[in-house]
Homo-oligomer: A and B are copies of this chain.
């Protein structure tokens, strides 16, 4: 039997990711379509504590589908990790008779949601939203596809100038614990090499690879460096390489936070819409403590328990092998 979910709130937490607005729009409109009262919580868990909870209707989410960032904003919130904070949050929800909560974010977001749901019996659904694509239970996380496109557009521009000058470029991309962005963008940009947090690549191997490019008359080389790799940032690596390999002029670019922004790609708009739509439908059908995710071409549920336990992204070794072959 369908539980008596009356009012539903949504929040975004952790780093923002393109497609979050598409997801918020889908959540609000699907809830309203089913006759629920819908609320947006500002600044993640902080808004629950600060009682910054806003009633939303279908027009509140007009013209946001194509926008980067999140209209609900996001913030870190230490207070929500304390019992006292959670207690206030619960009272604020209860005062509005909100009994369903949808959280969009990553690991940290889900950990808080799980504890909160277990403690107060609020029905909770998680939506995987992070550009890092490092969550278990969804082939792709919201924002990842857009981030890949943003990064390769930047590298395409850098390739123009690299080719014109016979240069070697080190480009640092996001991904402190996960090399997924680095590996996939290395393939998509035709990079000559990639340094990942999960793999130890010796500098010697890197230099051998670069030298072989010189031998086969490559006019420039691009190395993608994941911010979490063991040699430090792109600047440090560039210096170490330069000492032993001085064929090209060497330059470094740190792409930084522009990787988080931008209008979401079609893929992320569709994914955000589907995840938001399903999150509400599943909540209404009685699901709780679950994450909605994309597997193959379908939306499937994974328990938050399992998503958090087995959250580590497995590095795709076959893709890493492929980058070596394709950059000969």
Which residues from chain B contact A148 at a C-beta distance below 8 Å? 266-267, 270
The number of times this chain is found in the oligomer is 4
Does the CB pair A266–B184 fall under 8 Å? Answer: yes
CB distance from A185 to the nearest CB of B (A): 7
Does the CB pair B160–A67 fall under 8 Å? Answer: yes
Does the CB pair B265–A149 fall under 8 Å? Answer: yes
Interface size on A (CB < 8 Å)? 81
Which residues from chain B contact A277 at a C-beta distance below 8 Å? 322, 325-326
Does the CB pair A328–B161 fall under 8 Å? Answer: no
- A-side interface mostly: helix
- Pick from B32, B257, B296: contact of A251, CB below 8 A: B257
CB distance from A16 to the nearest CB of B (A): 4
Could you pull out 8 A-B pairs where Cβ atoms are within 8 angstroms?
A33-B328, A65-B190, A69-B164, A74-B164, A158-B258, A189-B269, A267-B267, A295-B296
Q: Chain A: residues with CB nearer than 8 A to chain B?
A: 12, 16, 18, 25-26, 29-30, 32-33, 58-59, 62-63, 65-70, 73-75, 139, 145, 148-152, 154, 156-166, 169, 184-185, 187-190, 216-219, 251-258, 260-263, 265-267, 269-270, 273-274, 277, 295-297, 319, 322, 325-328
